[in-house]
Amino acid sequence: MLAKSLALLALVVPACASMHTEPLLESGYRQMYNLDFDAAHSTFAQHIAQHPDDPMGPISDAAAYLFSEFDRLHILQTEFFLHDQNFSGDRKPTPDRAVTSLFEQRLNGGLALAHKRLAADPREANALFANVLVHGLRSDYEGLIEHRYLNTLESTKEGRHLAEQLLAIDPDYADAWLAIGVENYLLSLKPAPVRWMLQLAGNATDREYGLEKLRITAEKGAYLRPFAQLLLAVAALREKRRDEARSLLRPLAAEFPRNRLYADELSRLEPRIEPAANSATRKQAP
């Protein structure tokens, strides 16, 4: 089963007008996407110190811990997502338990802050979005590391419901569309009988609708924009649309030059140009 990732979070180039973003969070996500996890943790710690009541601080730090585990376990490559057997085998990755503990601490702390804000104002958009991210990050860990796919389905469905609530309040909160797009697209890849069962369980499985919503985040999103672009590149590769995948990966490789993953994936897709034959070699011996 293809697990869904809200875990690989992104950053702002520009943010949508209605979404409130913080400069330190933006810097931390940029560092994270450049695979500079120590710097990202330091930046997120500064944000937490300056905004101790903001749930996005600890939740972003949790994302950096999970993202570093995905990098260590080689889960970030697009090749991993192209082969369904990576999601169905019995062989599980071995997580770093110390990192897992820190990941859970940050998630629980951020969730408590989000609930406190929502108790005061159930329509606070950023607190609702933080709640969406908690469900996404947990489903990523459960699916991609622990292979507990039933838990993943429930977490993803709940995250999608929360995203729908947020978008009913603020339709321009472009990052929230990713939770809806991911569930619809990835579950649409399952065989028809499985999709039918998932629909009965309340999951969403509409492929075209999912891609449409991923494109909104890829074009207008803030923290999740590059991740939406990566997912669209994976979708293009699964459907053998290599030119489209290249067009999505090139700006990511340029924006995050220290991230070897984008460059490596792009190098696999670039057309190979054979060197022109030397004129001397073309001459036939007399």
Q: Taking each helix axis from N to C terminus, what angle separates 37-50 and 23-33, rounded to the nearest 10 degrees?
A: 170
Q: Is the distance from CB of 37 to CB of 68 less than 8 angstroms?
A: yes
Alpha helix locations (H) across 87-206? 97-120, 125-140, 149-169, 177-188, 192-200
pLDDT tens-place values along the chain, 286 residues long: 433 443 333 333 333 335 667 899 989 988 998 899 999 999 999 999 999 999 999 999 999 999 999 999 888 765 445 555 545 555 678 899 999 999 999 999 999 999 999 999 999 999 999 999 999 899 889 888 888 877 777 788 888 889 999 999 999 999 999 988 888 877 766 656 555 565 555 666 668 888 998 999 999 988 888 888 888 998 888 888 889 999 999 999 999 999 888 888 888 887 655 555 444 444 444 4
Cβ contact 105:41 at 8 Å:
no
User: Is residue 186 within 8 Å of residue 232, measured between CB atoms?
Assistant: no
Nearest alpha carbon to residue 25 among 54, 65, 67, 68:
54
> Could you tell me how many helices (H) and strands (E) the chain has, helices first?
14, 0
d(CA 3, CA 274): 39
Q: Which helix (H) or strand (E) holds 14?
A: none
Structure tokens at 275: 């060197």
Distance in angstroms (rounded) separating the CA atoms of residues 161 and 73: 30
Using the structure block, give the residue that is written with the tokens 């978008």: 167
Q: Which two tokens stand for residue 60?
A: 């972003």
Closest CA to 11 of 1, 36, 3: 36
Whole-number Å distance between alpha carbons of 176 and 224: 9
Q: Do 66 and 141 contact (CB within 8 A), yes or no?
A: yes
Measured in Å, how far apart are the chain's first and last C-alpha atoms?
Answer: 64
What are the pLDDT digits (tens) for 44-89?
999 999 999 999 999 999 999 999 999 998 887 654 455 555 455 5
User: Which residues lie below 8 Å from residue 257, measured CB to CB, with a gap of 6+?
Assistant: 34, 263
Three-state DSSP class for residue 225: helix
pTM score: 0.80
Distance, in Å, from the CA atom of 74 to the CA atom of 160, rounded to the nearest integer, reads 27
CATH number assigned to the domain covering 23-266: 1.25.40.10
The SS3 assignment for 15 reads coil
**Rg of the chain in Å (alpha carbons):** 20
DSSP three-state, residue 266: helix
Contact 70, 63 (CB under 8 A): no
